Structure 1
Amino acid sequence: MTELSQIQFGQPVEPCVSHDKWALLDTLTCAARQFNLNHRTLTVLRALLTFYPDRKLSDVPGLAVVYPSNRTLSQRLNGMPESTLRRHLATLVRAGIVSRQDSANRKRFARFGGLAFGFDLSPLARLAPQIYEAAEEEYRKQQEIDSLRARIAATRQRLIEGATLMPHHPLMEDSRRILRRKVDAETLRDVLDSLENHLDNTRKIDVPTERMSARNSENERHIQTTDKSESVCTTAPVCEAEDIALDDVTLSCKEYRDFLPDAPRNWSDLLRVAYTLYPMMGIDRSTFEEAREKIGPNGVSVAILCMLEKIADIRKPGAYLRGLSKRADQGKLNLRAMIKAAGPRKLSADNFA
């Protein structure tokens, strides 16, 4: 077999470059996607390589011919059906990994005197540079994918720890499912961009853009009517004159507790609650961001919680919030009235009439 498989027929003598056949096969396995090969086709190639006696594979045409019958190959492949075997052999030929040296009757055999018919494995050796390059590219792509996955996992954790997005938020659910699937780098980048946008918005919310404090220890000047908590809308264009306390909001609006049982400690916490709730209410992001700009971050938080109290009576929450934005733009929005309407009705004699 060694002598016959290396008989050169009808080919000029050329300098021979050889490659380790098993190293080439392992590298090709890493780059299989770029050559449109699957693991079963590679298994057939491995079986063909076992019929070549030397470990070093020559790149000279005709010096690495093997000629097992389909029956012999099938036996070496643990009984692979011959129809399946022929399909995988055809795939190897189309990919240029092996070439056929056919006899007149398409039988595979070798004769002394320079005749050998079967599968020539030398194309595999000649493709070595492309195979190694493709494998290196696949390695770089996989490194990028691994890095993106790690960044998505880290960003998800930061959003959860900061209560910016809850685990059941649609975006968090999508990112969790994607981390469990095999997806390309572009899909991962899109998910990471969406997560990081939420993280950036949180940073913008938490950092005051203007110092209005009367004392160095304060971040904002609040208008208060009670000693219970902070007031609302120091930055909102519509509600600057409103003096709504945070406790008034959390005591009047209770439906949010079904989703987020922990009471917000400050207005930043309340805004995070609103960011979690608005997708569940069927409000798109652009509508919410427009409302946030026109009503203010604190005002839109109050509006979302008040809407949730009456959500069963609101047919189109997105249109409803746009209406509130329009009223705010006209200076007609009354958040205190919304909070009063959202709270429990007080009992009076008329209730029992």
Structure 2
Amino acid sequence: MEPRLSTTPFGRRPLTLALVASQAGAKTRPPEKAVHKWETFRAICTAKEKLGISERALAVLDALLTFHPETVLTGEGLIVFPSNQQLCLRAHGMAPATLRRHLGALVDVGFIIRRDSPNGKRYARKDRAGGIELAFGFDLAPLVTRAEEFERLADEVRAEERALKLVRERVTICRRDICKMIATGMEEGVSTRRNGAGPADWTELHELYRGVVGRIPRSATREVLEPIATELSLLADEILNLLEDHVKSQKLSTNESQTERHIQNSNPDSLIDLEPRSPESPGARTESSPEPLRMPDRTFPLGMVLDACPDIIDYSKGGVANWRDFQAAAALVRPMLGISPSAWLHAQSVMGELDAAIVIASILQKGETVSSAGGYLRALTQRAENGEFSIGPMLMALIGTRKRDKQRA
């Protein structure tokens, strides 16, 4: 008599049209078709969100695949029949109730098909030669039938991840370029207006930049980041044009002054004093080496501060290699944040110069969550005067926020 595989589940489990569709799809599989089970499993893991399956269900599928003796899935012998106890062990000690729930999820999404026996047990009936004649358990045939679908979805996910990575890199480069160019423009006194048009000063440009960056969510998708990256690129190009125009105007003025000096020095009657000034003369200048900045006795490591507030690095031309570089970058950022000199001096007198600079870097890192940087600094200064504020918890909170953002990304 020809053996028959069951098409309906055992017990009170209902037969659904989705189960019928899975079984019909498995029948269309050519017997000679073969797929590598672990490559198919990796494709499913990559496309798990598109397929609507959880990591725990994938752990159960991984355990089921280990019960198939061959690496290649092909032919008719694709039914595995492990007991729940053995499945739980291979699924890293998963609880039986959890195992049954995730087995049902795998059936519902069409990854496996139940081939239940008359009594609902999983077993195999063997012939006289010892080969499996009929098995009752879980049929892995849908994995072979849908292998191309899994691979196509995995390719789509990889392409999306690559596109997201590229747009993130673009945003990062633009942010770094804009911050450093704004810092250079402020230090060199570059004009932000051309032909009577343009931003009033570099602080206004910085506020425009902060407004664009403030729209970046913590877990941004490619669709959200692409228009922001375009805006940042345009802003970076505009700032670069300002700097290039300034350099060109300086070259022109330098050439004109050199030509004028050449004409003046070509007069043979002019007397040129080549005698150097004596050290005692009033015009002589003695070059004094700056006194190295001493770190206060009680502070935090610079690496820890930069780990909590990495955005401050973008405002230093050569990077932040020591506390002097850090304080210089904080002094540059302070007016960009709209903090008044009086609030800044008060904070330095209460907290100390270095701790006040760390607070500036923290305010910069918080971004748009701080609506008024000046008011926020004054509030922290008041708390520090009352002995109610310390730098450590603020830095640890920023570090924790950055770690959570990386995990979400």
Is 2:207 the counterpart of 1:163? no
Q: CA deviation at 1:139?
A: 1.0
Please point out which of 7, 10, 17 is paired with 2:33.
17
Which residue of structure 1 aligns with residue 154 of structure 2? 135
Q: CA deviation at 1:193?
A: 3.5
Please point out which of 94, 102, 106 is paired with 2:116.
102
Which residue of structure 2 aligns with residue 304 of structure 1? none
Preserved CA contact (<8 Å) 1:98 1:124: yes
SS of corresponding position for 2:182:
coil
Q: How many equivalent pairs are there? A: 220
SS of corresponding position for 1:119:
strand
Whole-angstrom distance in 1 between the partners of 2:30 and 2:168: 49
Is 2:202 the counterpart of 1:188? no
Please point out which of 70, 90, 95 is paired with 2:84.
70
Is 2:55 the counterpart of 1:39? yes
Preserved CA contact (<8 Å) 2:112 2:143: yes
Is 2:72 the counterpart of 1:56? yes
Q: CA deviation at 1:56?
A: 1.0
Whole-angstrom distance in 1 between the partners of 2:30 and 2:235: 63
The one-letter amino acid of 1:30's match is T
The one-letter amino acid of 2:62's match is R
**Runs of at least 5 residues in structure 1 that lack an aligned partner in the other structure:** 1-6, 219-258, 263-271, 282-310, 313-353
Is 2:163 the counterpart of 1:144? yes
Question: CA 1:115/1:134 → structure 2, altered by over 3 Å: closer, same or farther?
Answer: same
Q: 14-23 or 117-126, which moves further after superposition?
A: 14-23
Is 2:141 the counterpart of 1:122? yes
Which residue of structure 2 aligns with residue 92 of structure 1? 106
Question: Percent sequence identity over matched residues?
Answer: 30
Preserved CA contact (<8 Å) 1:99 1:120: yes
Spell out the pairing of 1:175-324 with structure 2 (5 A cutoff).
182-202=219-239, 217=253, 261-262=331-332, 276=336
Q: CA deviation at 1:260?
A: 7.6
Which residue of structure 1 aligns with residue 364 of structure 2? none
The one-letter amino acid of 1:137's match is E
SS of corresponding position for 1:75:
helix
Preserved CA contact (<8 Å) 1:8 1:63: no
Question: CA 1:12/1:32 → structure 2, altered by over 3 Å: closer, same or farther?
Answer: closer
Q: Which TM-score applies when normalising by structure 1?
A: 0.52
Question: CA 1:194/1:216 → structure 2, altered by over 3 Å: closer, same or farther?
Answer: closer
Q: Which TM-score applies when normalising by structure 2?
A: 0.45
SS of corresponding position for 1:17:
coil
Q: CA deviation at 1:15?
A: 3.3
Preserved CA contact (<8 Å) 1:109 1:117: yes
Preserved CA contact (<8 Å) 1:99 1:123: yes
Whole-angstrom distance in 2 between the partners of 1:93 and 1:75: 20
SS of corresponding position for 1:162:
helix
Q: CA deviation at 1:127?
A: 0.7
SS of corresponding position for 2:42:
helix
The one-letter amino acid of 1:57's match is L
Q: 183-192 or 83-92, which moves further after superposition?
A: 183-192
Preserved CA contact (<8 Å) 2:115 2:136: yes
Q: CA deviation at 1:82?
A: 0.9
1:138-165 deviations in Å (ceiling 9; x for gaps): 1111110110111111001011101276
- Report which of the two has the higher share of helix: 2
Preserved CA contact (<8 Å) 1:68 1:118: yes
Preserved CA contact (<8 Å) 1:57 1:64: yes
Q: CA deviation at 1:203?
A: 5.2
Q: CA deviation at 1:277?
A: 5.3
Q: CA deviation at 1:171?
A: 4.4
Preserved CA contact (<8 Å) 1:101 1:118: yes
1:261-312 deviations in Å (ceiling 9; x for gaps): 45xxxxxxxxx999x457x99xxxxxxxxxxxxxxxxxxxxxxxxxxxxx99
Whole-angstrom distance in 2 between the partners of 1:99 and 1:32: 19
Whole-angstrom distance in 1 between the partners of 2:233 and 2:68: 54
The one-letter amino acid of 1:154's match is I
Which residue of structure 2 aligns with residue 349 of structure 1? none
Q: CA deviation at 1:69?
A: 1.5
Whole-angstrom distance in 1 between the partners of 2:53 and 2:34: 23
Whole-angstrom distance in 2 between the partners of 1:198 and 1:277: 18
1:7-57 deviations in Å (ceiling 9; x for gaps): 985979953211111111122211222111222221111100111111110
Q: CA deviation at 1:173?
A: 6.5
Preserved CA contact (<8 Å) 2:5 2:115: no
Whole-angstrom distance in 2 between the partners of 1:153 and 1:189: 12
Preserved CA contact (<8 Å) 1:156 1:172: no
SS of corresponding position for 1:68:
coil
